[in-house]
Amino acid sequence: MEYVAGGCLRTLLERERKFGQRRTTFYAACTVLAISYLHENGIIHRDLKPENLLLDSNGYIKLADFGLCKDGIGYGDRTRSLTGTYDYMAPEVLSRLPYSRSADWWSLGIVIFEMLVGDLPWMRPSIGVVCPKFLAEDAAILISGLLQLDPWMRLGSSEEDAGELMFHHFFRGIDWLALVQRKLQPPFIPEDVGLSDDGPCYEHLLLTPPSEGSLAIRKEIADAFGSFDYSAI
């Protein structure tokens, strides 16, 4: 994966605690497109969390860390391995029940709640998620739909998958085609989190060139590898 200059959402959340709805909507929309692409190709991510959502230099979200992905999972398919990060795992995953790609939408619901509230959601066994009163109605409805305890009733669980989310009122301000084409103005442009070569750590940095002897290759080694072409490696 190419270098992503803006760091991860976890770092931003630790610094700012939470985001406003406009910024959250933009990040959530980018994530919907990323998850939708995986699902269209029969892949579930299974580890969606702020640490795996990276911000590029233009302010767009990139989904990372595909080590726990499962392929061959289309609509109606199930898997049951216990995989992911505990706080973001759907209840059916934690219960070791067969689960579908809708487990990714549960994780997105947790992430959206965290971006808007600054904390993980509070769950009650009988009623599910408890949304704070300060949340906008469309945000509360979206989160409640994504954090539906019954995976068959969860937003995004139908064959439409991401289409159910894209037409939700929460995303009414998103031009999805413009987002795909990266024509929308992101709400935040990050600073490069990488090391700067003009910082104090580099003021007195001197590089010692290697001695001639250290670069020399003994004749017997050179002869042994004489027929090798590095470009074929």
Catalytic residue ranges: 47
- The contacts of residue 75 (CB under 8 Å, 6+ apart) are 100, 101, 159, 161
Rounded to 5°, angle at Cα 114 from 109 and 119? 130
Helices (H), ranges, the chain: 9-16, 21-40, 91-94, 102-117, 137-146, 162-166, 176-180, 212-215, 219-224
Six-digit token pair at 43? 């892949």
Q: How many CB atoms lie within 10 A of CB 52?
A: 24
Q: Among 45, 57, 67, which Cα is nearest to 7's?
A: 57
